[in-house]
Structure 1
Amino acid sequence: MTQSYPVYVVDDDEAIRRSLSFLLRTSGYAVRLFEGGVEFLKEAAGLPAGCVLLDVRMPDMDGLEVQRELRGRGIMLPVVIMTGHGDVDMAVSAMKAGASDFIAKPFEKGALLARIEAAKRQSLADRDASGKAVDAQAQLNILTDREREVLIGLVRGLPNKTMAHDMGISPRTVEIHRAHMMEKLKVKSLADALRIAFQAGIA
């Protein structure tokens, strides 16, 4: 049986919490309710990967403060900000701080579920990209300084002669470093080598 995707509702309004709990549970999600940002942050680090529905205006901490605190602690749960009338500027600020989306109250069921699913997909894509970046960086760590320089030169589109001039070595030596780099990365083509460089953040 597939485990239900968790959604964490953080809102000081009890009626909103009850309504969202019913809507989300009947839509197949696992729901946890929190009365405010302080209560949520006490448990956030230990929560399974899921989406946070975060009210923007709460008495203890507003949504923007909660969002900043999550990122400050390295907790990368996707966040959908719930706004009331006149709170759009705060929601935009929260998105700049890393929130996935925002939705204005009162909202339709379909619109809310679509935002949760979009946040879920983006979170999975981000985790996949993060894992690939770590793997790519580990591959580059086995290169010598010269081999890494050659790879960076290839990323910049430099020909062997230019790289040789910049490094103070012969074009033939550049070719040797390039061959060793390709062998260590276990790639057959320049495109594959560049893909690893891009995944590792070399641009």
Structure 2
Amino acid sequence: MTPTIHLVDDDTDFREGLAWLLDSRGLATQGWAGGEAFLASLGPGSPTWDCCVLLLDIRMEPLSGLATFERLKGLGWPWPVLFLTGHGDVDMAVKAVKNGAWDFLEKPFQNNLLVDRVEAARQAALAMQREAPERQRFQQALAALSMREREVLDQLLQGHYNKNIADHLGITPRTVEFHRANIFEKLQVNSAVELAHRMGRWGSPA
């Protein structure tokens, strides 16, 4: 399935020009006149939730791109968000990227640069889609850990050794080893490094 490129911009001429550019490069697009219209499309079972890339103008009325992004985060939006921004809004776009947006592009931009960035985001979306079943299984296993296993897990993620964990939790090193083995088996990891990597990627719901 080819991810749709959703274009959310309240400037009709710009939005249609962007759609023409991406369509000419073989990228399927769908335009939205603003953040409210896009958010309204996200009902249960909506195809808008399917694997996609979201191009979101940072300055829109009445709902700004940043406000739209915050609402999407609250809904658990998993797909790459690429902000389109004017020169005066670069600082806001940088903060949005630090807050979970995929990237941003400053207007006016070169067509090839935009297409390359969108294609990179599209490949990222496809990779996220491929790993979704494994991520879901990991998160379900994580949620099923016992309270003691979660305590040991938290200590492992801080880089502590078994003896230190045992002292901190008031249990024996052998008990720590038992819990550690159970955690590795349930989360299907082979080392503390792999555990930390997966927790960084999937430790919270997408």
TM range (shorter): 0.7 to 0.9
Q: Which residue of 2 aligns with 1:85?
A: 87
Structure 2 counterpart of 1:52, from 47, 51, 54: 54
**Cα displacement string for residues 99-128 of structure 1 (whole angstroms, at most 9, x for unaligned residues):** 211112221121111211222333445566
| Equivalent pair of 1:67/1:97 in contact (CA under 8 Å) | no
Indicate if the aligned counterparts of 1:133 and 1:200 stay in contact, CA closer than 8 A. no
Structure 1 partner of 2:121: 119
The AA in structure 1 aligned to 2:8 is V
Picking from 101, 105, 108, the partner of 1:106 is 108
Taking only the aligned residue pairs, the percentage that are identical comes to 35
Give the stretch that moved more between structures: 138-147 or 36-45. 138-147
TM normalised by structure 1 equals: 0.73
1:39-92 per-position Cα deviation (integer Å, ceiling 9, x unaligned)? 111114520221111112222211111111111222223111111232212322
Per the alignment, residue 42 of structure 1 pairs with: 40
Distance 2:13 2:71 in 1: 26
Q: Could you say what secondary structure the match of 2:41 adopts?
A: helix
State the AA in 2 paired with 1:14: T
Structure 1: how far apart are the matches of 2:75 and 2:184? Answer: 39
**Aligned counterpart for 1:31 among listed residues 12, 29, 41:** 29
Q: Alpha carbons of 1:152 and 1:36: their partners in 2 closer, same or farther (altered >3 Å)?
A: closer
CA RMSD of aligned residues (A): 3.5
Cα 1:32–1:195 shift into 2, 3 Å:
same
- Counterpart of 1:158? 161
CA drift of 1:9 comes to 0.9
| SS of residue paired to 1:192 | coil
Cα distance, 1:154 vs. partner? Answer: 5.7
Cα distance per residue 1:5-26 (max 9 Å; x no partner): 2101111222112211111111
Q: How many residues align?
A: 194
Measure the CA separation in 2 of the matches of 1:186 and 1:94.
31
- The TM-score with structure 2 as length reference comes to 0.72
CA-CA distance at 1:147 after TM superposition: 6.2
Output the CA distance in 2 between the equivalents of 1:143 and 1:61: 41
Structure showing greater radius of gyration is 1
Q: CA deviation at 1:182?
A: 7.9
C-alpha separation between the residues in 2 aligned to 1:72 and 1:78?
Answer: 15
What residue is the counterpart of 1:10 in the other structure?
8
Relative to structure 1, the CA distance from residue 169 to residue 119 in structure 2 (aligned partners, 3 Å threshold; closer, same or farther) is same
User: Any conservation in 1 of the 2:149–2:183 contact (CA below 8 Å)?
Assistant: no
| 1:74 matched to 2:76 | yes
